[in-house]
Amino acid sequence: MNIDLARTFLEIVETGNFNRAAERLSVTQSTVSMRIKALEDELGRPLFVRSKAGTELTAAGMQFRRYATMLVRVWEQARQEIALPPGFKTVLNVGGQFSLWDRLLVQWIPWMRTALPDVALRAEVGLSDGLMRQLSEGLLDIGVMYSPQSRPGLVIEKLLEERLVMVSTSRRRIEEWDDDYVLVDWGPEFRLGHGQSFPDLKTPAVSVGLGALGLQHVLSYGGTGYFPMRAIRGYLASSRLFPVAGAPEFRRPAWLVYAQDEAREDWFHTALDGMRYVASLESED
């Protein structure tokens, strides 16, 4: 079977739409339709039911989903291991969100080089949606992220929790809101808790989706915002930032995601244990 057929099938399952799948795969909608027809012809069963509301899997499609995921994963593993340089027995692909690299993955990589020197590492940065898709397709073995989505065949395990605390470049209490508040979007759980804690907060002049950008803005131009304790501990110690008295704290969990496979070799479980170990050293409890 052409592996592109399985990839296309999984992309439609994820997006629920032939057109969106085509956009993600950088092909035309007609190409996507031709691939699915070829796949259905090979299997002898229809895989999708298309309607104005979208695309749904047939019973055969639901059965094939698990096999398509395995096909893509095995293909990627084979492709990567064949290309291994001398001295390595396998390659481990890991991805994480940007703000988790300095917290966790940068420390895990040297741990891995010591514990498993014959395992090559390929690492990349991405957002939760993209990392989950790559995990489902077998392009990644391990993902570390803030907002995973439940997917068949993937294990989601809480790895650590970050403390998000409100700080300011001047001493103040929570009642002293002003125009220099920088709202950082730390994800859906934070947005919910923040909205409940500050229902009357006026729309901030500055809102950002990347914590590092918000922190740099506050440090450069002054202001107030929520940031992880591990990122601001040094600034608190040097009095460049001050905790806002009376402000609530929030927790932001980070998750470890990997494929559920009882046949995994010992080295993979060692890699997971290493991730858990490094995370335990970073605990803020």
User: Residues 60-101: pLDDT tens digits?
Assistant: 999 898 888 888 877 877 776 676 777 888 888 999 988 787
Which are the contacts of 266, defined by CB distance < 8 A and separation ≥ 6? none
User: Given this chain, do its domains 3-80 and 88-285 carry the same CATH topology?
Assistant: no
Spatial distance between the Cα atoms of 158 and 161, rounded to a whole number of angstroms: 8
Give the residue extent of every domain in the chain: 3-80, 88-285
Is 3.30.420.10 the CATH classification of the domain at 3-80? no
pLDDT, residue 31, reads: 92
pLDDT, residue 1, reads: 59
Parts of the chain with a pLDDT under 70: 1, 80-81, 83, 103, 262-263, 283-285
pTM of the model: 0.65
Structure tokens at 193: 């808790």
> Measuring CA to CA, which residue among 169, 128, 153 is closest to residue 252?
128
3-state secondary structure 3-14: HHHHHHHHHHHH
pLDDT, residue 37, reads: 92
Give 180-221 pLDDT, tens digit per residue. 899 998 888 899 999 999 988 888 889 998 888 899 999 999
Spatial distance between the Cα atoms of 116 and 270, rounded to a whole number of angstroms: 8
pLDDT, residue 284, reads: 62
CATH for 88-285 is 3.40.190.290
